């Protein structure tokens, strides 16, 4: 699958999630006004906030498709990472809010309307579930952040569904504690996902080697190219989690200087075989001094 197709698909997936989330927020708003339910109106406000977050993520995803120019010579792919960071931040703030509300409910249990909770939970699972199905095959970190955002909503509605069914079937003061307890468990799962997503995002921003790259295997394959005597300054990093960049200095074996282009093509093919999309090869003759004085040493 081409990377341009990945980015087109990511934009469409986020737009779908945005539309479904916005439509459901309107439904909740109307339902809250008709039923005079503050809880439903509060969740409608939360979903409108989600829609704004998704709109920002979509805008940054579209920006990431812009090609290179004088300001960003590698293009704008990393702008999609800003969407991931933004959504993760929104999720972190909402998680803190949910934890505070859940603790308050544990200390001071409140009466809830179980039947209304049941129907809203079914609607919430259906709408957010459709968006998740669209995003589950997404490959960009932005899509993963949106997916995690929607999973928080789906798991929250599942918790509401379970709690409402139990409340309809069982009587007892302890039943009212189900909702905050489930909310805390779900929030713990979401916070774990936020941590993993931010860790991956900042690994890219700090130019870490992509997790799937076998640097030892890559080095061995470069040395296996006919005409390569040695190499140094091998660097691999990612632009957005799906598009990777590789640079390397290779030193030719003696007598191979007439075959430079063949060796360069072979090394580029090795990089691409290891999933590097943009490969830069610097060639040195065995009689040349190491051409990496700009960093003080070869590494």
Check whether domain 3-205 has CATH 1.10.287.90, yes or no: no
Provide CATH 1.20.1510.10 ranges for the chain.
3-205
Provide CATH 3.30.70.1350 ranges for the chain.
215-295
pLDDT at residue 111 in the model = 65
pLDDT at residue 38 in the model = 45
Nearest in space to 281 (alpha carbons), one of 237, 224, 222, 204: 222
CATH hierarchy code of domain 215-295: 3.30.70.1350
pLDDT at residue 264 in the model = 92
- Per residue of the chain (299 residues), what is the pLDDT tens digit? 444 445 556 667 777 777 877 887 787 677 656 655 444 555 665 666 667 777 877 787 778 778 888 888 878 878 878 877 887 787 788 778 777 877 877 787 766 667 777 887 788 788 778 777 766 665 666 666 667 767 767 777 787 787 778 877 877 666 667 767 777 777 787 788 788 878 888 888 888 998 878 899 999 999 999 989 899 999 999 988 888 999 999 998 876 666 888 999 999 999 999 989 899 999 988 776 655 544 445 55
pLDDT at residue 218 in the model = 93
């Amino acid at each position: 699958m081409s990377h341009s197709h990945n980015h087109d698909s990511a934009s469409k997936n986020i737009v779908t999630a945005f539309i479904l989330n916005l439509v459901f927020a309107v439904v909740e708003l109307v339902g809250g006004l008709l039923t005079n339910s503050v809880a439903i109106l509060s969740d409608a406000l939360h979903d409108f906030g989600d829609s704004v977050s998704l709109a920002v993520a979509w805008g940054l995803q579209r920006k990431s498709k812009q090609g290179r120019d004088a300001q960003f010579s590698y293009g704008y792919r990393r702008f999609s990472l800003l969407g991931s960071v933004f959504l993760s931040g929104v999720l972190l703030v909402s998680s803190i809010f949910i934890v505070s509300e859940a603790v308050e409910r544990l200390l001071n249990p409140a009466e809830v309307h179980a039947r209304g909770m049941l129907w809203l939970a079914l609607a919430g699972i259906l709408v957010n579930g459709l968006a998740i199905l669209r995003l589950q095959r997404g490959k960009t970190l932005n899509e993963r952040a949106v997916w995690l955002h929607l999973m928080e909503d789906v798991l929250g509605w599942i918790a509401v569904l379970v709690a409402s069914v139990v409340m309809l079937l069982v009587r007892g003061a302890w039943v009212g504690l189900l909702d905050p307890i489930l909310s805390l468990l779900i929030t713990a799962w979401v916070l774990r996902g936020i941590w993993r997503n931010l860790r991956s995002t900042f690994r890219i921003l700090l130019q870490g080697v992509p997790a799937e790259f076998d640097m030892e295997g890559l080095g061995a394959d470069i040395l296996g190219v006919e005409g390569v005597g040695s190499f140094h300054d091998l660097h691999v990093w990612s632009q957005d989690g799906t598009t990777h960049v590789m640079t390397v200095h290779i030193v030719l074996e003696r007598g191979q200087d007439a075959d430079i282009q063949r060796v360069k093509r072979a090394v580029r093919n090795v990089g691409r075989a290891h999933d590097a999309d943009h490969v830069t090869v610097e060639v040195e003759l065995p009689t040349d001094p190491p051409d990496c004085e700009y960093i003080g040493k070869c590494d």
